[in-house]
Structure 1
Amino acid sequence: MNWLDDIRWDDQGLVPVIAQEASTGDVLMFAWMNREALARTAEIGEAVYWSRSRSRLWHKGEESGHTQKVQSIRLDCDNDVVLLSVEQLGHTPGIACHTGRHSCFFQKYEQGQWVSVEPVLKDPEHIYK
Protein backbone atom coordinates (compact mmCIF):
# COMPACT_ATOMS: atom_id res chain seq x y z
CA MET A 1 0.00 0.00 0.00
CA ASN A 2 1.23 3.48 -0.89
CA TRP A 3 1.59 6.05 1.92
CA LEU A 4 -0.65 8.41 -0.07
CA ASP A 5 -3.50 5.90 0.25
CA ASP A 6 -3.64 6.59 4.00
CA ILE A 7 -4.85 10.14 3.36
CA ARG A 8 -8.59 10.91 3.34
CA TRP A 9 -8.82 12.92 0.13
CA ASP A 10 -11.98 14.97 -0.42
CA ASP A 11 -14.36 14.32 -3.32
CA GLN A 12 -12.16 16.48 -5.58
CA GLY A 13 -9.04 14.51 -4.67
CA LEU A 14 -7.65 17.26 -2.45
CA VAL A 15 -6.43 17.55 1.14
CA PRO A 16 -6.06 20.83 3.09
CA VAL A 17 -2.49 21.80 3.97
CA ILE A 18 -1.17 24.16 6.63
CA ALA A 19 2.34 25.56 6.18
CA GLN A 20 3.96 26.41 9.50
CA GLU A 21 7.34 28.11 9.89
CA ALA A 22 9.70 25.63 11.57
CA SER A 23 11.75 28.23 13.46
CA THR A 24 8.88 30.31 14.92
CA GLY A 25 5.76 28.15 14.79
CA ASP A 26 3.99 30.90 12.82
CA VAL A 27 1.22 29.65 10.55
CA LEU A 28 2.25 31.02 7.16
CA MET A 29 -0.50 29.87 4.86
CA PHE A 30 -3.27 27.43 4.04
CA ALA A 31 -3.45 25.65 0.69
CA TRP A 32 -4.53 22.42 -1.00
CA MET A 33 -2.65 19.42 -2.35
CA ASN A 34 -3.63 16.56 -4.59
CA ARG A 35 -1.74 13.24 -4.66
CA GLU A 36 0.74 14.48 -7.24
CA ALA A 37 1.48 17.68 -5.30
CA LEU A 38 2.10 15.82 -2.04
CA ALA A 39 4.23 13.17 -3.75
CA ARG A 40 6.27 15.88 -5.50
CA THR A 41 6.68 17.80 -2.22
CA ALA A 42 8.06 14.68 -0.53
CA GLU A 43 10.31 13.97 -3.52
CA ILE A 44 11.94 17.40 -3.93
CA GLY A 45 11.73 18.71 -0.36
CA GLU A 46 9.98 21.94 -1.37
CA ALA A 47 6.28 22.76 -1.11
CA VAL A 48 4.20 22.02 -4.20
CA TYR A 49 0.50 22.76 -3.93
CA TRP A 50 -2.58 22.34 -6.10
CA SER A 51 -3.82 25.73 -7.25
CA ARG A 52 -7.60 25.61 -7.48
CA SER A 53 -7.71 28.97 -9.28
CA ARG A 54 -5.15 27.87 -11.90
CA SER A 55 -6.25 24.20 -11.96
CA ARG A 56 -2.63 23.03 -11.93
CA LEU A 57 0.31 22.19 -9.70
CA TRP A 58 1.90 25.26 -8.13
CA HIS A 59 5.48 25.06 -6.89
CA LYS A 60 5.46 27.68 -4.12
CA GLY A 61 7.75 30.49 -5.22
CA GLU A 62 7.71 29.67 -8.94
CA GLU A 63 6.84 33.30 -9.71
CA SER A 64 7.86 35.16 -6.56
CA GLY A 65 11.04 33.26 -5.68
CA HIS A 66 9.68 32.74 -2.14
CA THR A 67 10.02 28.97 -1.82
CA GLN A 68 9.30 26.73 1.16
CA LYS A 69 11.93 24.15 2.11
CA VAL A 70 10.08 21.33 3.83
CA GLN A 71 11.47 20.17 7.18
CA SER A 72 8.70 17.67 7.93
CA ILE A 73 5.33 16.46 6.69
CA ARG A 74 2.70 15.46 9.26
CA LEU A 75 -0.80 14.09 9.01
CA ASP A 76 -3.51 14.79 11.59
CA CYS A 77 -5.35 12.12 13.60
CA ASP A 78 -8.23 11.92 11.10
CA ASN A 79 -5.83 11.61 8.16
CA ASP A 80 -7.51 14.57 6.44
CA VAL A 81 -5.20 17.56 7.07
CA VAL A 82 -1.50 17.85 6.25
CA LEU A 83 0.89 20.03 8.24
CA LEU A 84 4.12 21.14 6.60
CA SER A 85 6.92 22.44 8.77
CA VAL A 86 8.85 24.75 6.43
CA GLU A 87 11.73 27.15 6.15
CA GLN A 88 10.52 30.16 4.18
CA LEU A 89 13.21 31.18 1.68
CA GLY A 90 13.48 33.78 -1.06
CA HIS A 91 14.85 37.07 -2.32
CA THR A 92 13.32 38.77 0.70
CA PRO A 93 13.42 36.03 3.36
CA GLY A 94 10.32 35.44 5.43
CA ILE A 95 7.68 36.38 2.87
CA ALA A 96 5.05 33.67 2.42
CA CYS A 97 2.05 35.76 1.36
CA HIS A 98 1.40 37.14 -2.12
CA THR A 99 0.64 40.48 -0.43
CA GLY A 100 4.32 40.78 0.54
CA ARG A 101 3.74 39.88 4.18
CA HIS A 102 5.30 37.20 6.37
CA SER A 103 2.02 35.29 6.77
CA CYS A 104 -1.26 35.08 4.91
CA PHE A 105 -2.96 35.43 8.32
CA PHE A 106 -2.21 39.14 8.76
CA GLN A 107 -5.79 40.27 9.45
CA LYS A 108 -7.08 40.25 13.02
CA TYR A 109 -10.68 40.69 14.11
CA GLU A 110 -10.95 43.72 16.42
CA GLN A 111 -14.16 45.42 17.50
CA GLY A 112 -16.28 44.36 14.54
CA GLN A 113 -13.72 44.74 11.78
CA TRP A 114 -10.62 43.17 10.25
CA VAL A 115 -7.39 45.03 10.96
CA SER A 116 -4.03 44.40 9.24
CA VAL A 117 -1.56 43.59 12.02
CA GLU A 118 1.52 42.63 9.97
CA PRO A 119 3.52 45.00 7.79
CA VAL A 120 4.15 44.58 4.08
CA LEU A 121 7.79 43.49 3.88
CA LYS A 122 8.01 44.03 0.12
CA ASP A 123 5.57 45.61 -2.29
CA PRO A 124 3.99 42.85 -4.42
CA GLU A 125 4.59 45.06 -7.49
CA HIS A 126 8.30 44.37 -6.97
CA ILE A 127 7.82 40.65 -6.33
CA TYR A 128 5.67 39.60 -9.27
CA LYS A 129 6.52 40.50 -12.81
Structure 2
Amino acid sequence: MRENIKYMAAVSVTNIFLVNLSVADLLVTLFCMPVQIAKSVTLLWYFGEVMCKTVNFLQGVAVASSVFTITAMSVDRYLAITQSLRQPWMPSRRGACSLLACLWLISLAIFAPLLAVAAVEREMVPMLARTKNGSVRPNS
Protein backbone atom coordinates (compact mmCIF):
# COMPACT_ATOMS: atom_id res chain seq x y z
CA MET A 1 0.00 0.00 0.00
CA ARG A 2 2.78 2.42 0.91
CA GLU A 3 4.58 1.73 -2.41
CA ASN A 4 1.36 2.52 -4.25
CA ILE A 5 1.21 5.97 -2.66
CA LYS A 6 4.81 6.71 -3.68
CA TYR A 7 4.03 5.69 -7.24
CA MET A 8 0.99 7.95 -7.46
CA ALA A 9 3.00 10.90 -6.15
CA ALA A 10 5.58 10.40 -8.91
CA VAL A 11 2.93 10.71 -11.63
CA SER A 12 2.80 14.48 -11.87
CA VAL A 13 1.31 16.58 -14.64
CA THR A 14 4.82 17.46 -15.85
CA ASN A 15 5.69 13.76 -16.05
CA ILE A 16 2.52 13.11 -18.05
CA PHE A 17 3.52 15.85 -20.49
CA LEU A 18 7.05 14.44 -20.75
CA VAL A 19 5.78 10.91 -21.45
CA ASN A 20 3.49 12.28 -24.16
CA LEU A 21 6.39 14.19 -25.70
CA SER A 22 8.46 11.00 -25.64
CA VAL A 23 5.70 9.05 -27.38
CA ALA A 24 5.52 11.65 -30.16
CA ASP A 25 9.31 11.57 -30.56
CA LEU A 26 9.31 7.77 -30.67
CA LEU A 27 6.67 7.90 -33.38
CA VAL A 28 8.97 10.03 -35.50
CA THR A 29 12.03 7.91 -34.69
CA LEU A 30 10.48 4.52 -35.40
CA PHE A 31 8.23 5.23 -38.37
CA CYS A 32 9.34 8.39 -40.11
CA MET A 33 13.12 8.62 -39.83
CA PRO A 34 14.05 5.27 -41.46
CA VAL A 35 11.81 5.93 -44.46
CA GLN A 36 13.01 9.52 -44.85
CA ILE A 37 16.66 8.43 -44.64
CA ALA A 38 16.11 5.79 -47.33
CA LYS A 39 14.36 8.36 -49.52
CA SER A 40 17.18 10.88 -49.04
CA VAL A 41 19.90 8.36 -49.86
CA THR A 42 18.30 6.81 -52.94
CA LEU A 43 16.30 9.86 -54.14
CA LEU A 44 13.54 7.38 -55.05
CA TRP A 45 10.39 6.24 -53.27
CA TYR A 46 10.25 2.44 -53.00
CA PHE A 47 7.54 2.12 -50.38
CA GLY A 48 4.32 2.47 -52.35
CA GLU A 49 1.22 4.63 -52.15
CA VAL A 50 -0.01 3.50 -48.72
CA MET A 51 3.33 4.15 -47.02
CA CYS A 52 3.56 7.54 -48.76
CA LYS A 53 0.28 8.61 -47.20
CA THR A 54 0.93 6.97 -43.82
CA VAL A 55 4.49 8.18 -43.25
CA ASN A 56 3.77 11.77 -44.24
CA PHE A 57 0.60 11.79 -42.12
CA LEU A 58 2.32 10.30 -39.05
CA GLN A 59 5.24 12.68 -39.37
CA GLY A 60 2.95 15.70 -39.41
CA VAL A 61 0.84 14.40 -36.52
CA ALA A 62 3.90 13.61 -34.40
CA VAL A 63 5.50 17.01 -34.99
CA ALA A 64 2.23 18.85 -34.31
CA SER A 65 1.59 16.91 -31.12
CA SER A 66 5.17 17.60 -29.97
CA VAL A 67 4.71 21.32 -30.54
CA PHE A 68 1.32 21.32 -28.82
CA THR A 69 2.71 19.37 -25.86
CA ILE A 70 5.64 21.75 -25.42
CA THR A 71 3.19 24.66 -25.58
CA ALA A 72 0.97 23.04 -22.94
CA MET A 73 4.01 22.46 -20.71
CA SER A 74 5.03 26.10 -21.11
CA VAL A 75 1.56 27.35 -20.20
CA ASP A 76 1.47 24.99 -17.20
CA ARG A 77 4.84 26.26 -15.94
CA TYR A 78 3.85 29.89 -16.58
CA LEU A 79 0.67 29.49 -14.54
CA ALA A 80 2.53 27.64 -11.79
CA ILE A 81 4.98 30.53 -11.46
CA THR A 82 2.61 33.47 -11.84
CA GLN A 83 -0.22 32.03 -9.74
CA SER A 84 1.96 30.74 -6.91
CA LEU A 85 1.39 33.75 -4.63
CA ARG A 86 -2.40 33.99 -5.07
CA GLN A 87 -3.46 30.39 -5.03
CA PRO A 88 -1.25 27.45 -5.96
CA TRP A 89 -1.65 26.23 -9.54
CA MET A 90 -2.36 22.52 -9.25
CA PRO A 91 -3.71 21.03 -12.48
CA SER A 92 -5.16 17.55 -12.19
CA ARG A 93 -3.71 14.47 -13.83
CA ARG A 94 -7.09 13.75 -15.39
CA GLY A 95 -7.20 17.28 -16.83
CA ALA A 96 -3.72 16.91 -18.27
CA CYS A 97 -4.62 13.58 -19.90
CA SER A 98 -7.82 15.09 -21.31
CA LEU A 99 -5.90 18.06 -22.69
CA LEU A 100 -3.33 15.78 -24.33
CA ALA A 101 -6.07 13.63 -25.87
CA CYS A 102 -7.62 16.80 -27.33
CA LEU A 103 -4.23 17.91 -28.64
CA TRP A 104 -3.71 14.55 -30.39
CA LEU A 105 -7.19 14.77 -31.91
CA ILE A 106 -6.45 18.29 -33.16
CA SER A 107 -3.15 17.07 -34.64
CA LEU A 108 -4.96 14.21 -36.39
CA ALA A 109 -7.59 16.59 -37.75
CA ILE A 110 -5.04 19.12 -39.02
CA PHE A 111 -3.16 16.51 -41.04
CA ALA A 112 -6.16 14.40 -42.17
CA PRO A 113 -6.30 16.16 -45.58
CA LEU A 114 -2.77 14.90 -46.21
CA LEU A 115 -4.16 11.36 -46.42
CA ALA A 116 -6.27 12.41 -49.41
CA VAL A 117 -3.67 14.59 -51.13
CA ALA A 118 -0.39 12.66 -50.81
CA ALA A 119 0.34 10.50 -53.84
CA VAL A 120 3.25 8.79 -55.51
CA GLU A 121 4.13 10.29 -58.85
CA ARG A 122 5.57 7.80 -61.30
CA GLU A 123 8.18 9.09 -63.72
CA MET A 124 10.06 7.32 -66.47
CA VAL A 125 13.76 7.26 -65.80
CA PRO A 126 15.79 6.75 -68.97
CA MET A 127 18.21 3.88 -68.94
CA LEU A 128 21.72 5.03 -69.71
CA ALA A 129 24.32 3.07 -71.63
CA ARG A 130 28.06 3.63 -71.78
CA THR A 131 29.61 3.73 -75.24
CA LYS A 132 33.02 2.35 -76.23
CA ASN A 133 34.68 5.76 -75.90
CA GLY A 134 33.33 6.18 -72.33
CA SER A 135 30.52 8.63 -72.97
CA VAL A 136 27.01 8.04 -71.70
CA ARG A 137 23.90 8.02 -73.92
CA PRO A 138 20.24 7.14 -73.39
CA ASN A 139 19.58 3.46 -74.10
CA SER A 140 16.84 3.01 -76.67
Tell which structure's C-alpha radius of gyration is larger: 2
TM-score, normalising length: structure 1: 0.22
TM-score, normalising length: structure 2: 0.21
Higher relative contact order (CA 8 A, sep 6+): 2
